[in-house]
Amino acid sequence: MATLLIIGASRGIGWELARQSVAAGDRVIATARDAAGLAALRDLGCQALQLDVADAASVSGLAWQLDGEKIDTAWHVAGVMCNRADATQPPTQADFDRVMHTNVLGAMQVITQVAPLVQAAGGRFAFLSSAMGQIGTVSGSGAWLYRVSKAALNMAVAAARHSYPGVIFTVFHPGWVRTDMGGAGAPVTPEQSAAGLRATLAAATAADNGAFMQFDGSRLNGW
């Protein structure tokens, strides 16, 4: 039985990753920010941990909650969207702090606590990013704060992989998914995205360490 950790599993893709993993017989440790999310994860069959990646104090307690664990697969799903303004409008300090603390600082703090546990298992550590974080192929400036945060996340993961030999780090574009963030008109369901993400990560080899991939297994260029 594999042990999985899913950071940000109370809804959307994170929830579906947890649901499918439990159904596959995995032991799933999953995080949520509030009591309702924790209760729902327990009902699903997960071991639920309270965590808010935007709160440094909350993240600092993650290591002791996971003390003694070896993590075969870790998913970092937690993230937020900005107000979708383009580069004609500067972000407010409040919005910048909210998005960057959640999407970048939170992930960087999680990496230092979780990667050693994944390393102990010789496992895989996957991060949900976005094609909107690509630099070489950027097509516009809409939601530019979100774009910047995801580009920064991509760099954090690309750099971190050099410090944890034996761990396969991957960054994923999960598709345009029908979630609260993606909207009702998105073409990909959470079920499709999660199934593709799980299959693609399971098939990853050492040659894929540091790869930026889509949920269907194809590679993205232009970090």
DSSP secondary structure, 176-189, as one string: SBSSTTT-TT-SB-
- Consecutive H or E run containing 82: none
Domain ranges for the chain: 3-214
Distance of CA 155 to CAs 34, 89, 103, 129, Å? Answer: 30, 25, 12, 11
**What pLDDT score was predicted for residue 133?**
82
pLDDT at 222 over 60: no
CATH class of 3-214: alpha beta
Q: Mean pLDDT across the stretch 7-19?
A: 96
pLDDT at 92 over 90: yes
How do residues 39-81 score in pLDDT, each as one tens digit?
999 999 999 999 999 998 999 999 999 999 999 999 999 999 8
Question: Which stretches of the chain are DSSP H helices?
Answer: 12-23, 35-44, 56-60, 62-65, 93-100, 106-121, 144-160, 190-203
How do residues 127-186 score in pLDDT, each as one tens digit?
999 988 888 888 899 889 999 999 999 999 999 999 999 999 999 998 777 766 666 676
